[in-house]
Amino acid sequence: MNAALSFLQRVDKERYAAFVALAILTVVSALLSPFFLQWQNLLNIIRQVSYTGIIALGMTFVIVSGGIDLSVGSMAAFVGCLAILVLNGSFEAGWPEGTAVAAAVACAMFAGLACGLANGLLVTKGKIAPFIVTLGTMALFRSLSLYMANAGEFRSASSLFGELGSSAPLGIPLPAFILVGLAAALAFIFGRTRYGRYTRAVGSNSRVALYSAIDVDTTRLAAYTVTGAMVGVSSVLISMRFNSVGSSTLGVNYELDAIAAVIIGGTSMSGGRGTVWGTVVGAITLGVINNMLNMVGISPYLQGTVKGLVIIGAVFIQRQRQ
Partner 1 sequence: MTPPLFRVRRLRKEFAGNAVLRDVDAEIRRGEILGLIGENGAGKSTFMKILSGIYEPTSGTLELEGRPIAFDSPSDARRAGVSIVPQEFNLAKDLSVEENVFLGAELLKLRRVLDRTGMRVRTAQLLAELGANVSPQDRIEGLSAAQKQLVEVCKALAFDASLLILDEPTTMLTRREIDRLFALMRSLKARGMALVYVSHKLAEVKAICDRVMVLKDGELVREAPIAEIEPPEMARCMVGRELREIFPPKRKAVGPVVLEVRGLSSPGAFTDVSFTVREGEILGFAGLVGAGRTQIAEALMGLRPSSGVVRVGGKEARARDAKQAVRQGFGYLSEDRQGSGILTGFGIAENMTLVSLRDYASLPFVIDRDKEVAKARTWRDRFGIKASNLAAPLESLSGGNQQKVFLAKTLDPGPRVVMVDEPTRGVDVAAKQEIYRFLAELAAKGAAVVLISSELEEIIGMCDRVVVMREGRIVGELEGNHVEEREIMYMATGLRTGANA
Q: Which residues bind partner 1 (CB under 8 A)?
A: 6, 9-10, 192-195, 197-198, 200-201, 204-205, 207-215, 272-273
State the Cα–Cα distance between residues 317 and 312, nearest whole angstrom.
Answer: 9
As measured in angstroms, the least distance from the Cβ of 260 to partner 1 is 23
Q: Which is nearer to partner 1, 95 or 195 (CB)?
A: 195
Q: Which is nearer to partner 1, 200 or 307 (CB)?
A: 200
Three-class secondary structure of residue 179 per DSSP? helix
Distance of CA 290 to the CA centre of its chain: 17
DSSP state of 169: G
- Whether the Cβ atoms of residue 12 and residue 187 lie closer than 8 Å to each other: no
As measured in angstroms, the least distance from the Cβ of 106 to partner 1 is 25
Neighbour tally for 42: CB within 10 Å: 16
By CB atoms closer than 10 A (0-12, 13-18, 19+), residue 16 is middle
As measured in angstroms, the least distance from the Cβ of 274 to partner 1 is 11
As measured in angstroms, the least distance from the Cβ of 188 to partner 1 is 8
Q: Which is nearer to partner 1, 147 or 188 (CB)?
A: 188
As measured in angstroms, the least distance from the Cβ of 206 to partner 1 is 10
Q: Which is nearer to partner 1, 12 or 97 (CB)?
A: 12
- Whether the Cβ atoms of residue 137 and residue 124 lie closer than 8 Å to each other: no
As measured in angstroms, the least distance from the Cβ of 221 to partner 1 is 15
Q: Which is nearer to partner 1, 40 or 320 (CB)?
A: 320
**To which H or E segment does residue 157 belong?**
none
Q: Which is nearer to partner 1, 23 or 208 (CB)?
A: 208
Where would I find the beta strands (DSSP E) of 107-161?
153-155
- Whether the Cβ atoms of residue 276 and residue 85 lie closer than 8 Å to each other: no
